[in-house]
Amino acid sequence: MALKINDTIRATRVGGRRPLSAIRAIVFHYTANTGLHATALGNARYFANGSEGRAASAHFVVDEGDTVYQCVPLDVVAWAVGDGQSGKYGKVYGNYNTVSIEMVSHTDASGKYYIPEATMKNAARLYQMLLKQLPGVQAAIRHYDISMKLCLPTDTTEILTRDGWKNITSVSVGEDVMTFNTDDGTATFSPVMDVVEPYDAEVVNCRGFEATENHRLWAKPNCANSHDFRETTYGYILDGKKQYVIPTSARYTAPGLPLTDDQIQLLVWVQGDGHYMKKKNGEISGLEFHLKKKRKIDRVKEVLDANLMSYTECFKADGSVSIRIYDKSVVDWCEQWLRNKEFTYQFIDMDQGQFGIFAEEILDVDGCRAANCYTSTSANNLDIVQAIAATHGVRSHIGPLGGGKDTSVHFSVSNRVIGKLMCDTTTRDTEVSCVSVESGYILIRQKKDTFIVGNCPLPLIDEKKWADFKKLLEEVDEVVTKSKMIVDGKEIEIKRILKDGTNYIKIRDIAKALDLDVSNKGNIPILSKKG
């Protein structure tokens, strides 16, 4: 099928002019259109209309049809890949020395992107056509290999793992992190598939959230008639005139803990107001609650009675009461779920019903219902409680209660709203990184606030698909182009075939250039001096 080039629809967001001799690579992109109805024409019009204010364009857009839309002349720079980015070829290729081809993509029933086979074949045909015009081309590469990085600042970003919050640079491939499923709004632990090597980039801050401008977000307009979250980019939100809601928590598809409601309540009280009694030799002998508030005394006794535990009461002169359980096995059982009388990340596995019991009890033990917060002197407890909240559908922030140090987890029922209408944005250059997970979304924490955000996606054309695609680039047509070879300072015209960045020249052309005779012995060529 012969391709037709339509150059009547021109992109408006472009750079300056350049000589064709400057072009060293052809870059393949995918459009990230959703659904099934996107076309090359529609994407060309998107570039012509100003790319919604984004500094974005491409030289060509290809779909399954026989018409290719050329949006930018070859001697004009397109704003397609960025420059100085951290991809494999980010320091070698940029906008100035590349030609960009956008392949129209779609999403299937599960929401995953794909590029139709016919579209890839058309892109390969276009590539072969371009090689005839651009003798300086050395390579065919993916956008991902230059600048397809959607990243987060390493100095402020943590990811929730099974072992707790970890700095984004400390997470490894194969390690389970908390991910988010946009299909049903649930969260689950899933393995990291890839890690982005840290690099320097500009991040934008809006109301405490920081990311590169092209970072993907799951968001919806902050208005009464908008109910559906959808994928967008941070830059799109910031450039627009609307405020957007982004999720801060999700409901984890937790297995539940093998604990009764009464046992969960007991563990909360042990952590908050209990202490382990010790003999003079340091051996733990049991559990004690030393309380003064009648509300707490009555509640502890209710919890102990519900758990069928025997205890003694000792009334002190100051009006306080000591409630003691002389049974070391109770302490041993508590320490299966606590660690040195602090919460553990095991509690994340509570089901939603167990979480409701837990959340209510911590407010009674170490909380303030009026301020809707949980307070602790232990930073570890605060981190864990916030992780539990974020994985059970509750937004929270760690901060001071009335001033001073960060001693409280503040729970909130309000949405997290971002957008330029909320406040001015700030930018800074800093080290960034990210991870890749199958669902495309992760739970993070920045400066003690939690967010659900997109991750750095694996390339749509992964390494295997890319290898297959490069074969397609070679197989669609074998293109022979005119080139030159210099021998002893003399330019000699030759014919070449470029495959995967390598020049292939006929043996007889080489022999002619070197003034040699050529013969063969079976499949082995023989070059010899003439005469």
pLDDT value at residue 74: 97
Pairing of strands 67-70, 4-6: parallel
The C-alpha atoms of residue 307 and residue 284 are separated, in whole angstroms, by 21
**Which residues neighbour 231 within 8 Å (Cβ) at sequence distance 6 or greater?**
34, 182, 216, 217, 218, 454
The C-alpha atoms of residue 71 and residue 43 are separated, in whole angstroms, by 10
The C-alpha atoms of residue 136 and residue 478 are separated, in whole angstroms, by 17
The C-alpha atoms of residue 53 and residue 43 are separated, in whole angstroms, by 14
Query: What is this structure's pTM?
Result: 0.70
The C-alpha atoms of residue 484 and residue 148 are separated, in whole angstroms, by 35
Q: Are the C-beta atoms of residues 399 and 448 closer than 8 Å to each other?
A: yes
Tokens 């707790």 locate to 164
Average per-residue pLDDT in the chain? 89
Q: Are the C-beta atoms of residues 28 and 99 closer than 8 Å to each other?
A: no
Q: Which of 215-229, 345-359, 414-428, 463-477 has the highest mean pLDDT?
A: 345-359
**Measured between alpha carbons, how far is residue 384 from residues 168, 208, 273, 424 in Å?**
17, 21, 18, 32
| For residues 347-369, average pLDDT | 96
* pLDDT of 499 higher than 60: no
State residue 223 phi and psi, 5-degree precision. Answer: -145, 160
pLDDT value at residue 470: 84
Q: Distance between terminal CA atoms of the chain?
A: 49
pLDDT value at residue 33: 80
* pLDDT of 231 higher than 90: no
| For residues 237-265, average pLDDT | 92
Sign of CA dihedral 38, 434, 415, 178: positive
pLDDT in tens, 437-482: 888 899 999 999 999 999 876 666 666 788 888 888 877 544 556 6
Three-class SS state of 119: helix
pLDDT value at residue 84: 46
* pLDDT of 57 higher than 90: yes
In one-letter notation, the amino acid at residue 227 is H
Q: Are the C-beta atoms of residues 290 and 322 closer than 8 Å to each other?
A: yes
DSSP 412-459: E-SPEEESTTTS--EEEEEEEE-EE-TTSEEEEEETTEEEEEE--PPP
* pLDDT of 85 higher than 70: no
For 278, the token pair is: 């010790």
* pLDDT of 166 higher than 90: yes
pLDDT value at residue 497: 66
The C-alpha atoms of residue 122 and residue 60 are separated, in whole angstroms, by 11
DSSP 7-44: --S--SSEEEE--GGG--EEEEEE----SS---HHHHH
Predicted confidence band at 373 (pLDDT cuts at 50, 70, 90)? very high
**Measured between alpha carbons, how far is residue 260 from residues 77, 112, 303, 335, 359 in Å?**
65, 40, 12, 16, 15
Predicted confidence band at 232 (pLDDT cuts at 50, 70, 90)? confident
* pLDDT of 134 higher than 80: yes
What count of other Cβ atoms lies within 10 Å of the Cβ of residue 348? 21
Nearest to 195 by CA among 157, 251, 247, 141: 157
The C-alpha atoms of residue 333 and residue 353 are separated, in whole angstroms, by 22
* pLDDT of 88 higher than 70: no
Predicted confidence band at 179 (pLDDT cuts at 50, 70, 90)? very high
Sign of CA dihedral 396, 401, 402, 403: negative
352-366 vs 294-306: helix crossing angle, rounded to 10? 150
Three-class SS state of 502: strand
